[in-house]
Structure 1
């Protein structure tokens, strides 16, 4: 990758979670692994927090060659026409929500390669007019009532043959590490479903024309299958190289 084509913006909702030190510490592990994986592939990584506001985030990512939107808190229901007071509702960071939604829409409009992880998948879907299932209840997707490092589960995802994500992971069934209590409901404009859990919930989406791919699971988790994060990050690198 040439020097002019190697800036990757890794965008999280916030850098500060003083109210929940255990969750904050685990997020640092996950984001750190995304950054380390990208740097190993030759990216210069810029780590950004979306709670600085939309204008600041858009300005700081103006020249980015690729974007990763990582996991975090629930998106505020007002952005997808949902109600408040649902089971498992987290705190909401509406400034961060708006900033990431606008960033995702701009990536689609400009054809900027984007990878969404967990919350990042939901941001992509909501940015394009989709909605969310607000709480999955007891499910294979998250362990409830356990210490933060134990909330992730392992379950299979059925990948659509011929999809980008199936080609990247090299199989039609992939084991993934998962920790989410929400999921895609109505699909956003231009998106196609390319992965589902055995219970039918959507686990991977891709844009039909823009270089946008998002997964509901955590390929960056330390217990994720070897090579999964590298493969998904590598898709960004290939897209940038192809556009050069």
Structure 2
């Protein structure tokens, strides 16, 4: 796969949050960080909004070599068999939820590398039948009553020895920037927990066989450790190249 052919879909829930401009502005900082890091790594980036619908998102990512699902609002509880009315419940974007869930399923079917960040991790888990803790309460994962750019906290994550994420980030313990009030509860089918916070909550998951990895924290935050996002994006690059090579080998054999 030549660098010119490397296309990365960066998929956010929406590009419009007129009801909450402060939150929207900070999301743009985070998504912009992913886009810039990917472009610096040689990707041709397409930035997509999932609230345009499932058909539109699948069509727009038809020829993508890899995808990143970034952060955003809570997933609508109906997608994981739960009800609303929980503390700190956000606006739900069910059209975006359905589209991103469909993208995960297709990524698995086709072997397309996919990285989930924050909401993206929860999308991956729910897509494979997992559930969520709907509110973690006050603690180490989010700060309340502060300006939006200050809601992230810094805490360690314990990585599973021998996991992809441990190999990428170079050690059993990493420092992360995090802001989430929900977390994985029941782990989805074929997913393996490869990172936890000191309080036990899931911080990283990987698929048993598909090239899918997701983290609950924000490696794209301006205050995140240098090189963390680049390392995770590097995994997409190597796996996308491997996938293209496998397809070429099959075509040659045929």
TM-score range, shorter chain: over 0.9
Based on CA coordinates, which of the two structures has the bigger radius of gyration? 2
For 1:137-176, what aligned pairs fall within 5 Å after superposition? 137-176=137-176
- Aligned equivalent of 2:115: 115
C-alpha separation between the residues in 2 aligned to 1:54 and 1:98?
A: 7
- Aligned equivalent of 1:37: 37
**Structure 2: runs of 5 or more not aligned:** 246-254
Contact 1:5 1:241 in 2 (8 A): no
SS at match of 2:9: strand
SS at match of 1:168: helix
For these two proteins, the number of residue pairs brought into alignment is: 244
- Aligned equivalent of 2:84: 84
Contact 2:4 2:44 in 1 (8 A): no
- Aligned equivalent of 1:242: 242
Contact 2:74 2:91 in 1 (8 A): yes
Question: Given the two structures, how large is their TM-score scaled by the length of structure 1?
Answer: 0.99
C-alpha separation between the residues in 2 aligned to 1:53 and 1:61?
A: 12
Question: Given the two structures, how large is their TM-score scaled by the length of structure 2?
Answer: 0.95
For 1:163-242, what aligned pairs fall within 5 Å after superposition? 163-242=163-242
**Structure 1: runs of 5 or more not aligned:** none
- Aligned equivalent of 2:9: 9
Aligned-pair RMSD on alpha carbons? 0.8
- Aligned equivalent of 1:103: 103
Deviations along 1:174-225, whole A, 9 cap, x unmatched? 0000000000000111000000000000000000000000000000000000
C-alpha separation between the residues in 1 aligned to 2:3 and 2:183?
A: 37
- Aligned equivalent of 2:251: none
SS at match of 2:82: coil
Contact 2:3 2:42 in 1 (8 A): no
